[in-house]
Amino acid sequence: MKPKIEREYYESGAVSYEEWCVKGQRHREDGPAYISYYDSGAVRYEEWYVKGQLHNTSSPAYMYYYSSGAVRYKQWFVKGKRLDDNEIKELKWKINFDKEVMEVLR
């Protein structure tokens, strides 16, 4: 099903936020489902959702940025569950292992 994309704008005309929803839930498989912007146009924060749950297995599901673009805060989530440091290390190890396997199979 194709997501519905909603956008809000600042008075200046710059995009304030973008949101991808399917069946009323935030959902996007190829990028963040919610992106908030500073009025300058720089990304304020990004949230990755699948079926309404914070979820991303390849990078943090929540990223908050300074207006300069530098990362202010990040947090990993899988299926709505916030990962602790050990779980993040395990997931990163699995991602790297999967990439190495795919390289061998090519």
Report how far apart, in Å, the C-alpha atoms of 88 and of each of 31, 39, 62, 94, 96 are.
20, 33, 13, 10, 12
Tokens of 98: 């999967």
Q: How far apart are CA 27 and CA 88, in angstroms?
A: 22
pLDDT at 54: 97
Q: What is the pLDDT of residues 71-98, one digit of tens each?
A: 999 999 999 999 998 888 888 887 776 6
Tokens of 74: 């990040």
Q: What is the pTM of this model?
A: 0.84
Q: What is the pLDDT of residues 28-59, one digit of tens each?
A: 999 999 999 999 999 999 999 999 999 999 89
